Amino acid sequence: MDRIQIRGGAQLNGVIPISGAKNAALPLMIASLLTDQTLTLENLPRLADVNQLARILGNHGVDYSIDGKRAREEAATGQTAHLRARTIVDTTAPYELVSRMRASFWVIAPLLARVGEARVSLPGGCAIGTRPVDLLLMALEKLGATIEIDAGYAVARAPKGLIGGEIDFPKVTVGGTHIALMAASLAHGATRIVNAAREPEVVDVADCLNKMGARIRGAGTPIIEVVGVPRLNGANHRVLPDRIEAGTYATAVAMTGGDVLLEGVGEDLLETAFDTLEQAGATVTSDNRGVRVRRNGAGIQAVDVETAPFPGFPTDLQAQFMALMTRARGTSRITETIFENRFMHVQELARLGARIRLDGETAIVEGVDRLRGAQVMATDLRASVSLVIAGLAAEGETTVNRVYHLDRGFERLEEKLSACGADISRIVG
């Protein structure tokens, strides 16, 4: 099993190209089930999750091809993928596939909208909490679907098609908003989605669906209106930059010191997170090339953070920011409000010398003068990259085990960091 080995102490200086957003790429790929024509996605990141979802979609009848497979591709060059579901060949998404990737549950919406039925395994629990699908199923029921749970599967039917209606989410849900958008696009009549997620990835999916012929207004606001159409067409769409990847590398620069341009990303995608990094002592500026992050000389200041739906501080940057706060002057409080059980990285950061105690949904982090390298174990995607950030600043050598988690969400992480001066490498096997 691969490991990441880091010798800490080097500043980061240079340019890091930001890849396409995983959190947009996955629902965009799933949207290909809504049409029998070709959906072309540019700037698709090279990730294990993207490859896995392509295999899952193939089970339903999606033909998938990639342009420009070359032996020496540059890290900055995203893939261009072509997806076409001429015919839906199977409306069942079995447990052995859904259990490998929770987002694959979302196929229930386009399958139901296009052919009137779907049988999709419930995804079950995961390393960062149960993340139930109740709200996702509620959204489909509001559009006229009948749903029953049978032997661990959600069996959804709408033999005469879905019907527009009002979906009022009791709490913000990104997955629920994605499902509602896809289902409502082919429903009969108009749909109103209230308390919709405002994340940039939701806007990106809505933009793509509109290119395919959908009629969606209000994406990026709490209320989205959709007028259903009889069919959707193919389209060409470029996946937006990955704001979580950008925020991760920005946090790494704040941790190590240095000066790095995050190429291809806009400051507007992460305004709250960048503001927080500035409070911690980094300098963040932007121009037409991207966002530049610097920290030269000044120490790291303790900052309190509470995760929240967009435009608040992203839960997907909570672990990375906690790693930064382990070296801050003073004590910080980090409160997680989105997912339960998302502090599994705490015990591994403690192996590096961090001082963190938990009080319910809040982690109290007492900054230390130094971290020391150690063997650590990745528990999930964001936890694993927080250990890399800590290792970049730790004295001596840090080895991060079980890095298959990293490959799910970060494209060529060690290559991008080493190009900016980090002493980091992958040990294969």
The CATH number of the structural domain formed by 3-18+241-427 is 3.65.10.10
Instruction: Read off the pLDDT band of 1 (50, 70, 90).
Output: confident
149 among annotated binding-site residues: no
SS3 428: coil
Query: In CATH terms, is domain 22-238 a member of 3.40.1080.10?
Result: no
Fold match, 3-18+241-427 / 22-238: yes
**Could you count the other beta carbons within 10 Å of the beta carbon of residue 141?**
14
* Residue that has been written with the tokens 């990847």 in this structure: 245
296 among annotated binding-site residues: no
What confidence score (pLDDT) does residue 161 get? Answer: 97
Catalytic residue (one of 126, 194, 223, 358): 126
Question: How far, in Å, CA of 74 to CA of 71, rounded?
Answer: 10
Residue 126 annotated in active site: yes
What would the pLDDT profile of 190-214 be if each residue is shown by its tens digit?
999 999 999 999 999 999 999 999 9
Question: How far, in Å, CA of 194 to CA of 171, rounded?
Answer: 10
SS3 309: coil
408 among annotated binding-site residues: no
What confidence score (pLDDT) does residue 225 get? Answer: 98
What would the pLDDT profile of 385-404 be if each residue is shown by its tens digit?
999 999 999 999 999 998 88
And the tokens for 8? 């800490």
Question: How far, in Å, CA of 225 to CA of 150, rounded?
Answer: 32
Domain boundaries, the chain: 3-18+241-427, 22-238
259 among annotated binding-site residues: no
